[in-house]
Amino acid sequence: IVHKHNMSISNKVAVVVAVLAIALYFGRTPAPGVTEAEIEADGGKWVRTADGRLIEYFTCGEEDRENRKGNLYIQHGYGATGHSMISDVMPICSVAKELGLYLFSPSNPGMGLSSAYPINKTRKLSEWPADIALILQQENIDEFYVSGISAGCIHAFVVAHAFHKQVKGVGVSTPTTPLAIEEATNSNMETATKIVRRTLEIPYIGDALARLLCSMGGKERMEAAPDVKLALEKMEAMGGIMAARGKALTQDLERGCKKTWRGWQDNMAILNEDLPFPVEELATRITKQGKKFVMSSSADDKTNPPCMQEYYRDNIPGATILTQENGFGHLHCLRDNCFRDLFVAMMQ
């Protein structure tokens, strides 16, 4: 009887493993297609890449070319979309308008209504400037400033490096670092962030995790990071515009999974690779040319701790950090003046 019972358990384990294996295998499926009409109906603009992908982007700020003081490319954070940057309640478009900047904000591949990469291809960070070049051409933009938030800063740095002759300055909020740098600096990144960062890019397993994350609400996903959870609770308690910003951000995270979960993998792969150039070259191409390289940072940011920003400051001579008051952790630039101070310093 004992023997039969043990065999029964073994059989059950085998069945569970087989079902899990099948689920993981069939979970790795191509993303649904995206159309130009879908993007336009959602208020976005689009460009089509040479390999047939669509990149959605959004614009705001100073539309009148005669009154413009510059153009600004800004890249959203991980899991979000370009729409998060142009929301009426966010402290970005109004600042861009005030400063005479025309802003464009694209969504990463697989996020929102930007096409995901083919399932048999791993996205490379070095490919992003070619996508941005299409937007620059369509918008008839020559010189521009570069900005980004969190994981979007990696994209911003690659664009600044590739278009350094056209870039007038860099101003980013709480930039993350490539995985190897994060480990070398012992940044004490939140455990939940580390697990997601190391797991998502693994084929099949990462697909299952990405599906799970996209099945969660935006607020639930954000609250996996304790400093972000505290910030959202504080913003909700404050009410008014701050509560509206927290709500808009969580809603945009849900928009990130509007079409597929694939973007979570496409974009994690590039976060875990090294920058496709020595970071010191950003000094050669930006700060040593008299252009500003400014970052915001906060001591209570546990998602991208200050040592990450200090890494860039220490390796890019001339780079500076605008230290923000504690209280909002990773979301410190949702305060009214953070982006304004960042953009002003970038344009000086």
pLDDT tens profile 294-344? 999 999 999 899 999 999 999 999 999 999 999 999 999 999 899 999 999
Instruction: Tell me the one-letter amino acid at 267.
Output: N
Q: How far apart are CA 194 and CA 176, in angstroms?
A: 12
Q: How far apart are the first and last CA of the chain?
A: 81
Q: Whose structure tokens read 């300055």?
A: 169
Task: Assess whether pLDDT exceeds 70 at residue 137.
Answer: yes
Q: What is the pLDDT of the chain when averaged over all its residues?
A: 89
Residue 95's CB: how many other CB atoms inside 10 A? 22
The per-residue b/e assignment along 59-78, b for 16 or more CB within 10 angstroms, e otherwise, is: bbbbeeeeeeebbbbbbbbb
pLDDT tens profile 29-70? 788 899 999 999 999 999 999 999 999 999 999 999 999 999
Task: Assess whether pLDDT exceeds 50 at residue 96.
Answer: yes
Task: Assess whether pLDDT exceeds 50 at residue 4.
Answer: no
Q: Is 57 helix (H, G, I), strand (E, B) or coil?
A: strand
More confident residue, 222 or 171: 171
Q: Give the pLDDT band of residue 12 (cuts 50, 70, 90).
A: low
Pick from 34, 231, 181, 40: nearest CA to 117? 34
Q: Are 102 and 71 in contact (CB under 8 A)?
A: yes
Enclosing H/E stretch for 295:
strand 292-298
Average pLDDT over residues 259-287: 89
